[in-house]
Amino acid sequence: HEMDFTHCFKDDMECSHTREAPEGSADTWHNCGCEHHTSAQSRLFIKGGRIVNDDQSFDADIYIEDGIIKQIGNNLVIPGGARTIEAKGKLVIPGGIDTHTHMQLPFMGTHAVDDFYSGTKAALAGGTTMIIDFVLDQKNVSLLEAYDKWRNWADSKVCCDYALHSCVTWWSPEVAKEMDILCKEKGINSFKMFLAYKDVFMLEDNELYEVFKRCRELGALGMVHAENGHLIAEKSSEMIQHGITGPEAHEMCRPEEVEAEATNRAITLANQANCPLYIVHVMSKSAAKVVTKARRQGKVVFGEPIAASLGTDGTHYWNKCWRHAAGHVMGPPLRPDPTTPGYLMDLLANNDLQVTGTDNCTFNADQKALGKDDFRKIPNGVNGVEDRMSVIWEKGVHTGKMDPCRFVAVTSTNAAKIFNIYPQKGRIAVGSDADIVVWNPNASRTISAKTHHQAVDFNIFEGMLCHGVAEYVMTNGHVVLDEGQVRVTQGMGRFIPLPCNSETVFSRIRERERTTKPCKVEREPYDGPVAKITATQMSEKMIVADNPIIPNNAEFHGRPMTSSGARNLQDSTFSLSGQQIDEKSPRRSTTRSLNPPGGKSSGLW
Ligand code: URP
Ligand code: ZN
Ligand code: ZN
């Protein structure tokens, strides 16, 4: 039986059951549903490999049926009809999870050229079996409508499993309501906010704080693109005024100090809201240091370097070839300090940073050329979804910085834990999805746009020799990378809902919610004298109230009391006018006199 199947599978063109994939796909469609193929595809036996999870590795065989790992061990007794994949001398690892992609994103007047088909096909070719993409629509568009749009785009095209993050680019009570529905009914457990792209996607700090509070209530993870949109807008204009219009200006108007500032600001606001935070695309040493320091202070924050920041650097922006330089433009930019990738890899190896994505958002040369005379119009985004696994193996494992277990942790397991789909994903275990890569640590390949599976015509890792190659890739038990051939069907991937309240993310948060709840001081009511405000003072107060730089008393408390009755800690305790929030308190050491001895110099002091 096995022989029959092997013949059929390997010599596919001879199989009468083979038919062409739906329009738009050049691949042969194996998933024809005939009994022969169905039974053959549903039973797999991976023999002789070394299984690597994040916490241990061991030699064992794996038996898979109906897309699920059914048995792991030696001398397994398995039903007939299984295809055997020989894995001797190879590592058998959980398929990669790319936490950050933007397939077919409409952005900067155009749209990303890798769509959910070419993007996920390329992902599989490189050993990534799941992506998490971002629902990112215009400001003021309903989050639910945007979600439906992304689901429609993705469901019909994805070749691997996928999930979604939702982006919050504007704030209103309606958005708060929709966040609830997304969490409870739509499989969303993370919301990303931008501190860049002023007037397009950017939130102001007060709005960001509100969204963080909502995330915490819902058990969702806050995510932030950490830059300073106001400063970028200012500095971009300065570049143009200086006559610097090329891609190097893109980096110079967004120096890493600014990424670090925004990272610190986001962490501070999230911590004040007791909201767990995930910093997407950590691009610089400075930002990574901020994340590291915050984690060591006990803040619940995760950092995501990407294939680009781990595998290349921003010196390319100074390349004499405009297309080459523009091909690297993304936000936040790659950093010109060439020690950046190695530094980020060190932190990733040692758990200062935890997860890896790619921010895959690709644009062809003609699209990048929209900014040929003005760097501000170069569509931001680079590739990575296909090469992430190889780049991290090459720069992380092949260099001796991390062992294969850590490689698995940072390419899949930690993502599965943070986004609450572990151990369905991110682990080789009985009951887990059969998203598996047979990884050959001794093979090598050279990355090139000429041979990659992505639709984009450029590759930021061009010419990189990578040791460590995906030899077989299985998604839900389907062998989709098979002896060098990528065999996929559009729409064969599934949407994976991400449940809220991930234990990895929220257990500390919930405990802190309990232990840091503001408590009021129980005391007898004050029964001493209370100053009277005279008519003169009242009329003076009117003058004060009319002055736009001095708030009147009624408006002083900008925020309501917290639910427990405590002063909202976000209310400032002072005002620039000298009027103090606690000025009625008998314990104030100084009081302002409206009629000081010697007469007042003005009504305003
Ligand atoms: O340059 C980038 N990163 N493009 C995609 C959008 C984003 O900021 O993540
Ligand atoms: Zn971003
Ligand atoms: Zn992104």
pLDDT of 304-323, one tens digit each?
A: 999 999 999 999 999 999 99
Q: Compute, in angstroms, the gap from residue 347 CA to the centroid of ligand 2.
A: 21
Closest C-alpha to ligand 1, atom 5: 381
Residue nearest to atom 9 of ligand 1 (CA): 359
State the ligand closest to the CA atom of 382: 1
pLDDT tens digits, residue range 262-302? 999 999 999 999 999 999 999 999 999 999 999 999 999 99
**Closest ligand to Cα 112:** 1
Domains in the chain, ordered, with CATH? 94-425+451-464 (3.20.20.140)
What pTM value is reported for the model? 0.85
For residue 279, the CA-to-ligand 1 centroid distance in Å is 13
pLDDT at 108 over 70: yes
Torsion over CA: 563, 205, 187, 348 (sign): negative
User: For ligand 1, atom 3, which residue shows the shortest CA distance?
Assistant: 331
Residues measured by CB to lie within 5 Å of ligand 2, the ion = 225
Q: Is the pLDDT of residue 581 over 60?
A: no
* Both structure tokens of 392: 């991290």
Q: What is the pLDDT of residues 18-70, one digit of tens each?
A: 333 344 433 333 444 443 343 446 899 999 999 999 999 999 999 999 999 99
Please report the pLDDT score of residue 382 as a whole number. Answer: 98
Is the pLDDT at 251 greater than 50? The verdict is yes
Between CA 531 and CA 528 the distance in angstroms is: 10
pLDDT over threshold 70, residue 17: no
Contact criterion met (CB below 8 Å) for 354 and 97: no
Q: What is the mean pLDDT of residues 517-537?
A: 93
- Choice from 99, 102, 282, 334 to test ligand 1 binding pocket (greatest atom count within 8 A of CB): 102
How confident is the model over 528-537, as a mean pLDDT?
91
Distance separating alpha carbons of residues 581 and 188, to the nearest angstrom: 40
Considering every ligand atom shown, identify the ligand nearest to the alpha carbon of residue 132 and give its number.
3
Alpha-carbon distance of 108 to 199, in angstroms, equals 13
Ligand at minimal distance from the CA of 362 is 1
**Which residues form the pocket of ligand 1, taking CB atoms under 6 Å from any ligand atom?**
102, 225, 330-331, 359, 361, 380-381
Query: Per the omega criterion (within 30 degrees of 0), is the bond before 332 cis?
Result: yes
Question: Mean of the pLDDT values across residues 94-117?
Answer: 98
Question: Tokens 């009277």 — which residue?
Answer: 532
> What atom in ligand 1 is closest to the CA of residue 329?
1
What confidence tier does 535 reach under pLDDT thresholds 50, 70, 90? confident
Strand, coil or helix: 526? coil
Strand order in the sheet with 190-194: 96-101, 128-135, 161-167, 190-194, 221-225, 277-282, 301-305
Helix (H, G, I), strand (E, B) or coil at 357: strand
Kindly give the distance from the C-alpha atom of residue 101 to the centroid of ligand 3, in angstroms, as a whole number: 6
Whether the predicted pLDDT of 582 surpasses 70: no
Per-residue pLDDT of 156-181, as tens digits, reads 999 999 999 999 999 999 999 999 99
Write the burial class of residue 583 (CB in 10 Å: 0-12 exposed, 13-18 middle, 19+ buried): middle
With the most atoms of ligand 1 within 8 angstroms of its CB, the residue from 190, 193, 202, 361 to mutate is 361
% of the chain exceeding 70 in pLDDT: 82
CA 487 to chain centre: 28
Q: How confident is residue 544, by pLDDT bands cut at 50, 70 and 90?
A: low
Dihedral angle sign, alpha carbons of residues 354, 360, 361, 363: positive
Q: Across the chain, what does the average pLDDT equal?
A: 87
Residue of 330, 360, 385 to mutate, ligand 1, most atoms within 8 A of C-beta: 330
280 Cα: distance to centroid of ligand 2 (angstroms):
7
So what's the pLDDT on residue 548?
55
Q: How far is Cα 567 from Cα 109, in angstroms, rounded to an integer?
A: 46
Tell me how far apart the alpha carbons of residues 416 and 168 are, in angstroms, rounded to a whole number: 23
Mean pLDDT of 560-589: 40
- Counting residues of the chain whose pLDDT is more than 90, the rounded percentage is 81
Count of Cβ atoms closer than 10 Å to residue 495 Cβ:
16
Q: Which atom of ligand 1 is nearest to the CA of 194?
A: 8
